[in-house]
Structure 1
Amino acid sequence: MNISARVENSAGRHQVTLRTGGNVQDLSIPPRSTGFGSSVNGGELLFLALATCYCNDVYREAAKRGLNVERVEVEVEGEFGAEGEPARNVTYRVRVAAQGSEAEVQELLRHTDRVAEIQNTLRAGTAVTLGRIEVVGI
Structure 2
Amino acid sequence: MVAVAVELRNVEGTEAAMGWAGGHTIVVDRPEGKAGGAGLGFNGAQLLALALGGCFCNDLRYASHEIGVPLGRIAVTVTVELGGTPLVAMSAAMRVDCETLDGSDPRPVIEQAKAVCTVAHSLRNGLPVSIDG
CA distance in 1, matches of 2:112, 2:46: 25
* 1:125 matched to 2:126: yes
After alignment, is 36-45 or 117-126 more displaced?
36-45
* 1:115 matched to 2:116: yes
Structure 1 residues 122 and 15 mapped into 2: Cα distance closer, same or farther (>3 Å)?
A: same
Matched ranges for 1:1-138 at <5 A: 1-9=2-10, 11-12=13-14, 14-19=16-21, 23-29=22-28, 33-34=32-33, 36-37=36-37, 39=39, 40-100=42-102, 101-102=104-105, 105-131=106-132, 133=133
Structure 1 gap ranges (5+): 134-138
Structure 1 residues 86 and 14 mapped into 2: Cα distance closer, same or farther (>3 Å)?
A: closer
Structure 1 residues 28 and 87 mapped into 2: Cα distance closer, same or farther (>3 Å)?
A: closer
One-letter amino acid of the structure 1 residue matched with residue 86 of structure 2:
G
Could you give the per-residue CA deviations for residues 52-87 of structure 1, whole angstroms, max 9, x where no partner exists?
000011011101111111121110113111332432
After alignment, is 118-127 or 86-95 more displaced?
86-95
Contact 1:73 1:94 in 2 (8 A): yes
Contact 1:18 1:24 in 2 (8 A): yes
TM-score, structure 2 as length reference: 0.80
Could you give the per-residue CA deviations for residues 79-114 of structure 1, whole angstroms, max 9, x where no partner exists?
111332432231100110213421xx2021012111
CA distance in 2, matches of 1:38, 1:112: 36
**Aligned Cα root-mean-square deviation (Å):** 2.4
One-letter amino acid of the structure 2 residue matched with residue 106 of structure 1:
R
- DSSP-derived class of the 1:27 partner: strand
After alignment, is 30-39 or 83-92 more displaced?
30-39
CA distance in 1, matches of 2:45, 2:129: 16
Once the two structures are TM-superposed, the CA of residue 30 in structure 1 deviates from its matched residue by 6.1
Aligned length: 127
TM-score, structure 1 as length reference: 0.77
One-letter amino acid of the structure 1 residue matched with residue 107 of structure 2:
Q
Structure 1 residues 60 and 33 mapped into 2: Cα distance closer, same or farther (>3 Å)?
A: same
